[in-house]
């Protein structure tokens, strides 16, 4: 019998299933993975070092560029950390808006992940359906913040501005006639909140559609059931969080256990898995989308009935309105100081963690009283997830590695920072 | 909430006793500083003791205190405190509390602390990252390679004496028909200087 030795295979960094720029060095015995060594850092931009050279407010846009599939929510722990260091309160309406957009981006993130994951595994059609809904979410984000992708919407002290009263509409052009435009604009006649509500009412039916395509799909189950099993004790040891931890049956969600903003006033459930395999994590994410939708509806109801300020009126932290600035000397000085020197944050250190779509996303911040952070550490979820890849992939076939990469939910902007 | 923090502090004092370097509560967060010699033992106790039960290590990062409270890094260390620290954030699911654990590396020239990889396996990459970016060595780590920087990178970029522009830049050399490294040609430029004001300058109350 011929002697067969293990061989190494290079996977990525330009492989379509590598979710960006993952270079994976696989040691294989035939088709079985003996060792997987992820090489990361190909997208390393040194965000944390850059933040040390920028004033506190200038780093807000960097946060969106971490996990570029759930943009707004990334800014949340950063702003929370600054608010805790300063000891300022966020207006209640801003807290509701933050929760609303956290959940909208959670849906956005899970849609993105679900589409990409299914695409990796071979269900080509999924990504077309999930991106159809993603388009609506991008429209919401654009209407509210002005940007589809990188919003920089959360600011220390609140959010940049209140929800607008009108939703942008389609216009007739040579590709769309009056009839089509009328249909497309049907949901866009009212305010942004009306459009979000319309989306939230439509969304459960979309989830059912995805489930018809995947949940009982024979190929999907053959590719996912029993793959990448993590027992709960290993999940804890490996520092996993979010759906990766809940898929293994550990009921842990920061929104419930250590509530921040207004999550303690909202009604939602935490789905958990049983077997800890890729299929259970898929089910957890599906259910999380439905739960997020419930939260979105509750936030809409509250926001309709409770107008108010959306950013702190402490002008040492948040700039005054343009109108006030033009009329008052004091506000002009505040604006000038904020725009040139930036705010000063009292010395101290703080760790703010939130339940990101992927798990616990945290910001550890040290301030020495300057107008720039002394040290910012971004506790990225995907970084920790991909560290578990080696353990999960061992003993599986080469094709299963792709399934595992999909379930790990990695986004390289966040892994490499 | 604060009753819970008091209980955590009390438990820490009872269990760790003399091994506590310092223990403080600030902004609702508990920080424990231990000596490098006790680090590994304390970590194991924190995980295993039923009154503490920190099952998860959420985060570990390196910190360079070389320019703390200063405008820039200077080689003379006025405070005389160690320069490098490894800071980890622990989470207990059982008790639902968090702890920040800080250990200073005694030698600034060759910072070494014990690796926690046998206590919490998930710390593996965090320690690789701290090594890569700060040059902190973790003794007992099975695979202490660089992780984020390029293959063949020289230096530890997150140290305060490492310029944000770096030392080398890469370009394509048409004469040699390959990519070459050369010293950086861009001028360092700082739009907003780093300013450390006197005490209480940035202090704000709720009204502003």
**pLDDT digit string (tens) for A51-79?**
988 889 888 999 888 888 888 899 899 99
pLDDT computed for residue A21 by the predictor: 83
Q: Which structural domain range is residue B64 located in?
A: 3-149
Q: Say if the Cβ atoms of A239 and B120 lie within 8 Å.
A: yes
Q: Say if the Cβ atoms of A314 and B56 lie within 8 Å.
A: no
Show Cβ contacts of residue A279 under 8 Å, excluding neighbours closer than 6 positions. Answer: A221, A224, A225, A226, A227
Q: Say if the Cβ atoms of B195 and A341 lie within 8 Å.
A: yes
Q: Is residue B57 part of a domain?
A: yes
Q: Is residue B134 part of a domain?
A: yes
A348 interface with B at CB cutoff 8 Å: yes
Distance from CA of B194 to the nearest CA of A (A): 6
- Give the one of B61, B121, B192 whose C-beta lies nearest to A342's C-beta: B192
A135 interface with B at CB cutoff 8 Å: no
Q: Is residue B62 part of a domain?
A: yes
Residue showing tokens 């160690």 = B82
Portion of chain A with pLDDT greater than 90, in percent = 23
Buried b / exposed e over A230-268, threshold 16 CB at 10 Å, is bebebbbbbbbbbbbbbbbbbebbbbeebebbbbeebeb
Buried b / exposed e over A8-17, threshold 16 CB at 10 Å, is eeebbbebeb
pLDDT at residue A15 is higher than 80:
no
The pLDDT tens digits for A338-382 are 888 888 888 889 999 999 988 899 999 998 888 889 999 999 888
pLDDT computed for residue B79 by the predictor: 59
- Predicted confidence band of residue A31 (pLDDT cuts 50, 70, 90): confident
Q: Is residue B33 part of a domain?
A: yes
CATH of A55-343, one of 2.115.10.20, 1.10.645.10, 1.10.3720.10, 3.30.420.10: 1.10.645.10
Give the orientation angle of helix A192-214 with respect to helix A92-121, to 10 degrees.
30
The mean of the pLDDT values for chain A is: 88
The pLDDT tens digits for A124-144 are 888 899 998 898 999 999 999
Buried b / exposed e over B28-48, threshold 16 CB at 10 Å, is ebbbbbbebebbbebbebbbe
pLDDT at residue A324 is higher than 90:
no
pLDDT computed for residue B8 by the predictor: 86
Q: Select from A69, A4, A57 the least CA-distant residue to A32.
A: A4
The total domain count for chain B is 1
The domain spans of chain A are 55-343
Q: Select from A390, B175, A397 the least CA-distant residue to A408.
A: A390
B87 interface with A at CB cutoff 8 Å: yes
Task: Determine the Cα–Cα distance for residues B14 and B31; give it in Å rounded to an integer.
Answer: 16
Q: Say if the Cβ atoms of B123 and A317 lie within 8 Å.
A: no
Q: Say if the Cβ atoms of A314 and B206 lie within 8 Å.
A: yes
Contact residues on chain B for A347, CB-CB shorter than 8 A: 69
Residue A83 C-beta-side C-alpha neighbours within 13 Å: 25
Mean pLDDT over A301-308 rounds to 90
Longest dimension (CA), chain B: 70
Cβ under 8 Å to A: B residues 14-73: 26-29, 31, 55-59, 61, 63-64, 67-69
Minimal Cα distance from B163: which residue of A? A49
B195 interface with A at CB cutoff 8 Å: yes
Give the orientation angle of helix A192-214 with respect to helix A126-145, to 10 degrees.
170
Q: Is residue B101 part of a domain?
A: yes
- Give the one of A44, A48, A379 whose C-beta lies nearest to B59's C-beta: A379
Q: Say if the Cβ atoms of B27 and A348 lie within 8 Å.
A: yes
Q: Say if the Cβ atoms of A40 and B26 lie within 8 Å.
A: no
pLDDT at residue A24 is higher than 80:
yes
Task: Determine the Cα–Cα distance for residues A354 and A356; give it in Å rounded to an integer.
Answer: 6
Q: Say if the Cβ atoms of B122 and A343 lie within 8 Å.
A: no
Distance from CA of B69 to the nearest CA of A (A): 5
Mean pLDDT over A325-350 rounds to 88
pLDDT computed for residue A2 by the predictor: 67
- The CATH number of whichever domain residue B143 belongs to comes to 3.30.460.80
Query: What is the pTM for the complete model shown?
Result: 0.89
- Give the one of A239, A315, A372 whose C-beta lies nearest to B57's C-beta: A239
pLDDT computed for residue B208 by the predictor: 44
A353 interface with B at CB cutoff 8 Å: yes
User: How far is C-alpha B124 from the chain's CA centre?
Assistant: 14
Task: Determine the Cα–Cα distance for residues B58 and B47; give it in Å rounded to an integer.
Answer: 13
Mean pLDDT over A28-33 rounds to 87
* Intervals of chain B under pLDDT 70: 1, 71-80, 198-208
pLDDT computed for residue B77 by the predictor: 58
pLDDT computed for residue A185 by the predictor: 87
Distance from CA of B44 to the nearest CA of A (A): 13
Q: Select from A81, A38, A384, A392 the least CA-distant residue to A241.
A: A384
Pick from A282-286, A324-328, B17-21, B57-61: least confident: B17-21
Q: Is B120 helix (H, G, I), strand (E, B) or coil?
A: coil
Q: Say if the Cβ atoms of B202 and A252 lie within 8 Å.
A: no
Q: Which residues is A155 bridged to in the sheet?
A: A158
A273 interface with B at CB cutoff 8 Å: no
Counted across chains A and B, CB pairs separated by less than 8 A come out at: 142
- B198 exposed, middle or buried (CB, 10 Å; 0-12, 13-18, 19+)? exposed
A231 interface with B at CB cutoff 8 Å: no
Top residue of B43, B54, B68, B148 to mutate, by most chain A CBs within 10 Å, is: B148
The pLDDT tens digits for A183-226 are 888 888 888 898 999 999 999 999 998 999 888 888 898 888 98
């Amino acid at each position: 019998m011929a002697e067969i030795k293990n061989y190494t295979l290079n996977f990525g960094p330009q492989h379509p299933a590598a979710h960006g720029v993952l270079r994976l060095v696989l040691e294989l015995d035939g088709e079985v993975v003996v060792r997987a060594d992820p090489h990361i850092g190909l997208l390393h931009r040194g965000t944390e070092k850059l933040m040390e050279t920028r004033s506190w407010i200038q780093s807000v846009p960097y946060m969106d560029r971490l996990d570029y599939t759930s943009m707004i929510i990334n800014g949340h722990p950063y702003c929370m950390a600054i608010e805790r260091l300063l000891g300022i309160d966020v207006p209640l309406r801003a807290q509701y808006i933050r929760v609303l957009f956290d959940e909208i981006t959670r849906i956005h993130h899970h849609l993105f992940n679900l589409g990409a994951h299914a695409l990796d595994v071979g269900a080509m059609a999924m990504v077309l359906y999930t991106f159809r809904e993603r388009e609506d979410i991008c429209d919401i984000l654009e209407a509210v913040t002005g940007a589809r992708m990188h919003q920089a919407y959360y600011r220390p002290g609140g959010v940049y501005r209140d929800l607008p009263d009108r939703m942008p509409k389609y216009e007739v052009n040579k590709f769309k006639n009056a009839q089509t435009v009328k249909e497309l604009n049907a949901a866009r006649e009212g305010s942004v909140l009306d459009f979000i509500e319309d989306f939230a009412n439509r969304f459960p039916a979309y989830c059912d559609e995805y489930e018809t395509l995947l949940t009982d799909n024979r190929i999907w189950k053959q590719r996912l059931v029993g793959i990448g099993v993590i027992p709960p004790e290993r999940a804890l040891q490996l520092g996993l969080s979010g759906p990766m931890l809940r898929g293994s049956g550990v009921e842990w969600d920061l929104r419930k256990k250590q509530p921040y903003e207004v999550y303690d006033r909202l009604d939602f459930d935490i789905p958990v898995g049983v077997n800890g395999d890729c299929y259970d994590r898929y089910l957890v994410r599906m259910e999380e989308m439905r739960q997020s939708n419930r939260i979105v509806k509750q936030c809409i109801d509250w926001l309709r009935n409770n107008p108010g300020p959306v950013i702190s009126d402490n002008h040492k932290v948040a700039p005054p309105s343009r109108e006030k600035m033009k009329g008052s000397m004091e506000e002009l000085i505040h604006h000038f100081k904020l725009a040139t020197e930036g705010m000063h944050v009292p010395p101290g250190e703080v760790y703010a963690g939130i339940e990101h779509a992927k798990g616990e996303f945290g910001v550890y911040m040290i301030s020495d009283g300057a107008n720039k952070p002394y040290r910012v550490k971004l506790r990225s979820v995907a970084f920790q997830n991909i560290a578990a890849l080696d353990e999960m992939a061992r003993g599986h076939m080469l094709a299963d590695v792709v399934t595992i990469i999909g379930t790990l939910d990695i986004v390289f902007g966040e892994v490499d920072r | 909430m604060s009753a819970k923090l008091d209980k955590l502090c009390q438990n820490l004092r009872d269990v760790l006793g003399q091994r506590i370097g310092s223990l403080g509560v600030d902004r609702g967060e508990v920080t424990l500083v231990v000596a490098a010699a006790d680090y590994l033992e304390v970590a194991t106790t924190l995980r295993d003791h039923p009154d503490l039960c920190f099952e998860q290590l959420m985060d570990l990062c390196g910190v360079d205190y070389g320019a703390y409270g200063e405008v820039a890094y200077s080689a003379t260390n006025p405070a005389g405190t160690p320069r490098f620290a490894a800071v980890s954030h622990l989470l207990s699911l059982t008790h639902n509390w968090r702890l920040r654990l800080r250990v200073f590396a005694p030698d600034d020239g060759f910072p070494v602390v014990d690796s926690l990889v046998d206590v919490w396996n998930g710390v593996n990459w965090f320690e690789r990252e701290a090594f890569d970016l700060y040059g902190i060595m973790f003794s007992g780590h099975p695979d202490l390679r660089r992780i984020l920087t390029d293959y063949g990178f020289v230096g530890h970029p997150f140290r305060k004496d490492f310029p944000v522009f770096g030392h080398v830049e890469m370009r394509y050399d048409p004469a040699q028909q390959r990519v070459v490294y050369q010293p950086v040609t861009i001028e360092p430029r700082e739009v907003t200087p780093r300013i450390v004001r006197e005490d209480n300058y940035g202090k704000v109350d709720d009204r502003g």
